[in-house]
Structures are given as C-alpha cells and as structure tokens.
Amino acid sequence: MPTPWWIRVLVWIGAPAVGTGVAMLLVLLGGVEWLPGPFGLIEELPDLVTTYVTPALGAVLGLVLAAMVDAESLTVRVSTTEVVLTRPGHRRAVPRGDVAVAFPDRDKLVLLGRTGRELAREPCHLSKRRLRAAFTENGVPWADEDPYLNSYRRWVPDLPDLPPTANAILAERQKALKAGDEDELRDLREELGRLGIVVRDVKKKQYWRHAS
C-alpha cells in the first residue's frame, strides 16, 4: 500500500510553485532584504536580476521541501508472513507473528510486539482507514491509538526507576530531540528498546515506559 502517486506528483509540482509564488509576492510587497540567508543578499543585486533570481530561489527551496516530504513517503505491505515498511533509503521487515498490534501515533505508524516492545515506528501519511483495512484483513490487530498510552511517564534526569545506562541514553536523546537530529533519535530509541524501554516524544519532551 504505497502513498498514492497523485499525492507525490502534487507535492513535487505544488511545493516549487508555492515557493515561487511566495518569493514573487515578497518582491512585490517591498523586497526581501529583511530575510536571512540568500534572500537578503538578493536585495543587493540589480532590480532586473532580482526579478528573476528571487522566484528561482523560491522554486529551489520548494524542491528541497518536496524532497523532504517525499523521503517520508511510506509503502506498507502486509502479508501472511511479514509486515514490510519501505520508504526511500530505508526498509524494515517484521515477521508477521511478532506483531501484536499496529496503530497510528500522530504522523507515525507503530508496530508493537507481544511484550509491548516497539518493533517499528515510521513516518506515515497514509489514510488510517486504508491502514486499518490492510492490517486487519491480514489478521494483524489494529488500534486507533497507543494501547499503552496511559503507562508513559515523563522523563527527567537521573530517575531512580531507570538504570543508569537508560538515564544516560535518555539524556543524550534529549539533546538530539532539541536539535531535531532524526537519525540520532532513531538510533538512541533502538538502544533504549534493547534495554526494554519504550520512549514517546511530545513537544520536545520524552515520555517512557517499560516493555512488559
């Protein structure tokens, strides 16, 4: 079940068009000298050059945004043997028998194991109705929200209920959360998973629970 092709086409066409339109509007409204980065430098160019360079830069920024959105285009394949989650540059296959439940968590699709351990968490913008059908038709239970939602606790440094290793990882992960380092967040989440700790992020804050 891939992201519909027309949505991907719309993103690749629409984002550069919007970027170009916004850039042109800024020029018409009185210039871009107050903006940071390359936009501010454009104001120093001759008017004729600015007229063409600013929309082009807006289009380029739109293409960058489209690429970032497309990188999170998830394809979900559910069979009798496995669940495969694929997006550009990343593939995760989970044995069908290991999955106890699937559910959406805001803009993520999450798979949990029999002990409540997190098996997968991937960016997902697919229809919840289509996801529910894909999983339930193949015998995988579906929940509309995290069944362990009430079990999470706010993390603060040096919690006595957590081993020192988990506290240290959560401290490093808090830094990555503030910096928006998605790769580091993913790696440290998996490290916590190996310790039997499941973590959930809400507005730059970490919440955790033990796997059963």
Q: What is the pLDDT of residues 157-172, one digit of tens each?
A: 999 999 999 999 999 9
Query: What pLDDT shows up at residue 126?
Result: 85
Write out the two tokens for 30: 């009185």
Burial 163-199 (b: 16+ CB within 10 A, else e): eeebbebbeebbebbeeeeeeebeebbebbbeeebbb
Q: For the range 9-18, what are the long-range contacts, defined as Cβ-Cβ under 8 Å and sequence gap of 24 or more? A: 11/66, 11/69, 11/70, 12/63, 12/66, 12/70, 14/66, 15/62, 15/63, 15/65, 15/66, 15/69, 16/58, 16/59, 16/60, 16/62, 16/63, 16/66, 17/59, 17/62, 18/62
Helix or strand holding residue 118 (H, E):
strand 118-123
Tens digits of residue pLDDT in 135-151 = 999 999 999 999 999 99
Domain ranges of the chain: 5-70, 72-147, 150-212
Check residue 89 and give its pLDDT.
77
Share of the chain above pLDDT 90, in %: 57
In CATH, what number does 72-147 get?
A: 2.30.29
Structure tokens at 28: 């018409």
> Is the pTM value of this prediction over 0.75?
no
Q: Worst-scoring range by mean pLDDT, 7-21, 36-50, 119-133, 191-205? A: 36-50
Reply yes or no on whether the pLDDT at 41 is more than 50. no
Convert the pLDDT of each residue in 112-141 to its tens digit: 999 999 999 998 888 899 899 999 999 999
